[in-house]
Amino acid sequence: MTQDKESWPFLSQKTVDLKIIRKAKMKIPFGTITITSKSRELINEALDSGRVSNGKYVREFEELFARLTGTKEAVAVSSGTDADMLALAVLYDFGAKRGDEIIVPALSFVATGNAVLHAGFTPVFVDVELETLNINPRRIEQVITKKTRAIMPVHLMGKPAKMDEINKIARKHKLFVIEDAAEAHGAVYKGKNVGTLGDMAAYSLYLAHIITTVEGGIVTTDREDFAEILRSLRSHGRACKCKVCVVNTNSAYCSKRFKSGRDVRFIFERVGYSSKMNELEAAVGIGSLHMYKKIISKRKRNLLTMIKRFQKFKSCMTTFQQEEHEEIGPHAFPMIVKEKAGFTRDQLVDYLDKRGIDTRDLFSSMPTQCPGFKFLKYKLGAFPNAEYIGDNGLHIGVHQDLGEKHVDYFIRTVGDFLERYAR
């Protein structure tokens, strides 16, 4: 069988690409997970006990997480998206109505916008700042209406949003502030931990994050009434919402069970969700918290080294900076290709991928680049910074399984790419 000669260059390039892949010096995966011996021990104990639903290990994890962030309460749920969603749903107990508006940044992982909609609210989007990746506070008041109930800033890539300005606007307009801290474990803003800067904060505990339960989320707050409502919401809205449930943890007698004349576990006070964390996930989380200082130290070192060394590429690419008033939560390392760089984001991604460096796009403008939000009728061009990042941004991991040799390899590989393609 003869081949068309025009196919030869394609085959030749494919062969070259395969050789590159085989010769890649090392792999830099985007994420990792550390499951400690402590976690394995607790998982086995839970399995042996036969009680694997929400119980004593979930409560222990909540107490440890609250202590770490410096809040009075932490309520564990089944995902970071649910953490956003339930924090928003708390507002119905304080006068919010379905269809009311929540202000969010246009750029975030799609879960932020999804959570607003699933909670029964309408997301109102605001463009971000290119240099911080976060919501632009100067544009927030332009979209506040009589239906606005809260501002949900996102600390994207662990970089704290400008919370002083956001809280000032919220106080002026009597709005709640709910931090989307999904990626911001360990972040600090002006001496205060992220997670303590608003009325509530919602964290993701997904496996690639600094603190993980494999899947899971958690909401922090200083308000006991918010925490009680959150415990109700995560379990179908039931009236049974004690901080420590003796039935779930000890199979003991509950004096409150028939106090109202009916079984409190089957009185449903509000529209709720099925969003509980289970004991096996909490066991992974407890082990993760025991390793927290070691994990975050490695990740911070990787992130700050990347930020410093990446400056040599500033003529054609940018990244965020850690400013004097903050500590970035070392979730990942973002990059944005500048205009007229001479190459595209996707060319860089392909080059890195062939050399073993795993990347992710730096999300999208939810209202204008995500088809699922098309029904909200925002027009392309309405959020120029978010859209630019959506087209030209990417990020790589900085996790605890990486070290100096991986950072060296990454910087060297980017340099090799730019020698070939940058103008």
Write out pLDDT tens, residues 353-367.
999 999 999 999 999
Predicted TM-score of the model (pTM)? 0.91
Q: Which two tokens stand for residue 330?
A: 């070392």
The CB-side HSE value for 389 (13 A sphere, CA atoms) comes to 29
Domains of the chain (ranges, CATH numbers): 37-289 (3.40.640.10), 292-421 (3.90.1150.10)
CA pair distance 329, 160, nearest whole angstrom = 8
pLDDT of residue 7: 35
Residue 269's identity, in one-letter code, is E
Give the alpha-carbon dihedral of 261, 264, 270, 272, to 10 degrees: -160
Chain center to CA of 398: 15
Per-residue pLDDT band for 267 (boundaries 50, 70, 90) equals confident
* Between 262 and 297, residue with greater pLDDT: 297
As given in the structure block, the two tokens for residue 232 are 């109700």
Strands 360-361, 393-397: pairing kind: antiparallel
Answer yes or no: are the C-beta atoms of 210 and 219 closer than 8 Å. Answer: no
Confidence of residue 14 (pLDDT cuts 50, 70, 90): very low
Note the pLDDT of residue 6: 37
Write out pLDDT tens, residues 90-146: 999 999 999 999 999 999 999 999 999 999 999 999 999 999 999 999 999 999 999
Check residue 3 and give its pLDDT: 39
Alpha-carbon torsion 408, 412, 413, 418, what sign? positive
* Cα–Cα dist 325/348, whole Å: 32
Per-residue HEC secondary structure of the chain comes to CCCCHHHHHHHHHHHHHHHHHHHCCCCECCCCCCCCHHHHHHHHHHHHHCCCCCCHHHHHHHHHHHHHHCCCEEEEECCHHHHHHHHHHHHHHHCCCCCCEEEEECEECCHHHHHHHHCCCEEEEECECCCCCCECHHHCHHHCCCCEEEECCECHHHCCCCHHHHHHHHHHHCCEEEEECCCCCCCEECCEECCCCCCEEEEECECCCCCCCECCEEEEECCHHHHHHHHHHCECCECCCCCCCHHHHHCCCCCCCCCCCCCHHHCECCCCCECECCHHHHHHHHHHHHCHHHHHHHHHHHHHHHHHHHHHHCCCEECCCCCCCEECCCCEEEEEECCCCCCCHHHHHHHHHHCCECCEECCEEHHHHCHHHHHHCCCCCCCHHHHHHHHHEEEEECCCCCCHHHHHHHHHHHHHHHHHHCC
pLDDT in tens, 23-55: 556 899 999 998 999 999 999 999 999 889 888
The predicted pLDDT at position 87 comes to 98
Mean pLDDT of all residues in the chain? Answer: 92
CB-count exposure of residue 158 (10 Å: 0-12, 13-18, 19+): buried
Show the tokens assigned to 141: 């008041």
From the list 86, 78, 85, the residue with the least C-alpha distance to 115 is: 85
* Inter-residue contact 348 to 391 (CB < 8 Å): no
The pLDDT value recorded for residue 203 is: 98
| Residue 261: pLDDT band with limits 50, 70, 90 | confident
pLDDT of residue 54: 84
Give the pLDDT confidence of 134-164 residue by residue, as tens digits: 999 999 999 999 999 999 999 999 999 999 9
pLDDT in tens, 227-252: 999 999 999 998 877 676 655 555 66
With both helix axes pointing from N to C terminus, report the angle between 292-309 and 279-290 in degrees, rounded to the nearest 10.
70
Q: Is 209 a catalytic residue?
A: yes
125 with 110: CB under 8 angstroms? no
CB atoms within 10 A of CB 257: 14
pLDDT given for residue 8 in this prediction? 34
Alpha-carbon Rg for the chain in angstroms:
23
Residue-level pLDDT at 254? 66
Predicted local confidence at residue 306, as pLDDT: 98
Say yes or no to pLDDT of 298 above 60: yes
Are the CB atoms for 283 and 216 separated by under 8 Å? no
Catalytic residue chosen out of the listed positions 155, 185, 209, 395? 209
Of the chain, the percentage scoring pLDDT greater than 90 comes to 84
In this model, does residue 257 exceed pLDDT 80? no
Is-contact 196 177, C-beta < 8 A?
no
Of how many residues is the chain composed? Answer: 423
pLDDT at 50: 87
Residue 53: the pLDDT is 87
Edge to edge, the sheet with strand 317-318 lists 317-318, 332-337, 393-397, 360-361
